[in-house]
Structure 1
Amino acid sequence: MTVTSGPATAPQSFWRAVYADLFLGYTRFEKIFYPALILLQVVFAIAYPTGIVGSIIAISGTICVALVGKGRISNYFFGVIQNVLYFWLSLQAVFYGEVMISVFYVLTQFWGLYTWRKNLTPAASSSAAADSATKTEPRDVLTRRIGIVGWLAILAILAAGTWLYGLLLQELNSNQPFIDSFTTVIAVIAQILMVYRFREQWLLWITLNLAQIVLWLTSSEPGSLDIVVMYIAFIFNSVYGWYNWSKLSKPVSA
């Protein structure tokens, strides 16, 4: 009598896919670069313990952006962890713009997960899968780029949004209202570009990360230095993310 393993293969396939998404398909450089970014956060958290919340935000956030840079859909799991805790820390620091953007980030994790799942590199053929049942190839997101018209629209929205939102935050007595406003508006734009898989997000993230370092250096909340170190790691990752997505992306019409 032949015993089949039908339904039992489903969870096995799921965990193989998770493992492949997290650990397979990296270049030699990426095998050094990404762990180094994560290790930086771990070492800083151990050497300068300023708060467990800040440390978890920094570590989970670095893992998240590293996976985004590689185009891996598992980034959204770590994104939820990072941004739920970032909401709490920003509230304590009275950075109301950061509080609001963290809520937006959490919601867009699910939006991005839906969008990215529909735009992954094609899976291996069924015949190939049958020949190698224990091997699962990672599937990266399909990336694209925008043109000059898109950039002009982005800059116009950024300028108007920063001014208007800064006035609102000023009325709410937020710390550093216009820096807070700038980081919030540029983050919204960059996150939308990420959800829709545009490489231009990375230039906005670089600008945002520099502004975030200035913002969090003004805070005396426990865990603030962890956030500063996290954003330093984000800058390095954003530079490589721009390079990597530029190789993979294709131009699209407005």
Structure 2
Amino acid sequence: MVIEQIEFVAVILSIIYVVLASRENHNCWYFGILSVSIYIYLCLDALLYAETLLQIVYLFLSFYGLYSWEKKSFVNESLENNIVLKLKISEWPIKKHFTYILIFTILSFSIGILLNSFTRSELPFIDAFTTSFSLLATYMTIKKVLENWLYWIVIDLTSVFLYHERDLHLTAFLFIFYTVIATFAYFNWKSKSLNA
């Protein structure tokens, strides 16, 4: 019963994180830091070792995301009032996507082999896939690459199955919610990038 209560808190914090991130609100990273701290414990308890490692990496990336979204990219000191240019939404060319997909597929398969051979990891190849591509999608989110949300949709749908199979049903539901938010966020960011 305690795991379910801890999972519930992590889910609420995660929902707040993704809603704020979809709105480009830098406060999302504070909620991200709290939720991944809890998920480190939950994933370890569920024998999802790659996901545990991912949560640890997320913790550091959340601090980097907070810094990146809050930092002043440019200050024009010649003016009386400082002008701050914030990181803008960008898009990657198709060739760059293919390159990253190839690299992260190889990484995912390699991690899956290691998990399958040397741990008691449940669903090692799915665990490795969601972990590998989540790292890429998180990097893309930090850099405000529009297509990050498309990656998240695929990752989130895969994660629904992964967490359901490990009896983390609230978290599986969270990933259904993430899929919906990622869909809306994609169109929201697309609209903002067209109007910029």
TM-score (norm 1): 0.68
1:239 and 2:192 aligned: no
Amino acid corresponding to residue 150 of structure 1 in structure 2: K
Larger gyration radius, structure 1 or structure 2: 1
- Candidates 186, 189, 197, aligned match of 2:136: 189
Q: 1:126 Cα shift? A: 8.4
Give 5+ residue unaligned stretches, structure 2.
Answer: none
Counterparts of 1:208 and 1:107, CA distance in 2:
20
How big is each residue's C-alpha offset from its partner over 1:170-201, in whole Å with a ceiling of 9 and x where there is no partner?
Answer: 12221100000000001000011111111111
Deviation at 1:219, TM superposition (A): 1.2
Trace 1:1-254 onto structure 2 (pairs within 5 A): 51-118=4-71, 142-171=88-117, 172-220=119-167, 224-249=168-193
**Which 4+ stretches in 1 moved above 2 angstroms?**
139-142
Deviations 1:34-75 (A, max 9, x none): xxxxxxxxxxxxxx9972111011110011000110001000
**Alignment identity in percent?**
24
- Partners of 1:168 and 1:213 lie apart in 2 by 23
Which of 1 and 2 has higher RCO (CA within 8 Å, sep 6+)?
1
Answer yes or no: is the 8 Å Cα contact 1:60–1:81 preserved in 2: yes
Q: Match for 1:234: what amino acid?
A: Y
Tell me how far apart the structure 2 counterparts of residues 85 and 54 of structure 1 sit (CA, whole Å).
8
1-structure distance, mates of 2:140, 2:178: 17
Q: Which moved more, 1:201-210 or 1:168-177?
A: 168-177
Q: Once structures 1 and 2 are overlaid, which stretch shifts more, 109-118 or 237-246?
A: 109-118
Q: Distance in 2 between matches of 1:126 and 1:63?
A: 37
Separation in structure 1 between the aligned mates of residue 180 and residue 140 of structure 2, nearest angstrom: 19
Shift of 1:140: 7.9
Determine the C-alpha separation between the residues in 2 that align with 1:217 and 1:126: 56
Opposite residue 102 of structure 1, the aligned amino acid is Q
What's the offset of the Cα at 1:118? 2.9
Aligned length: 187
Verify the 8 A CA contact 1:71 1:140 in the aligned structure 2.
no
In 2, Cα distance between the equivalents of 1:179 and 1:96?
A: 12
2:150 maps to amino acid: L
Amino acid at match of 2:165: T
Q: Note the alpha carbon deviations across 1:125-150, whole angstroms, 9 max, x for none.
A: 989xxxxxxxxxxx986311111121
In structure 2, C-alpha distance between the alignment counterparts of 1:50 and 1:110, rounded to whole Å:
26
Q: Note the residue ranges of structure 1 that are not aligned, 5 or more in a row.
A: 1-47, 128-138
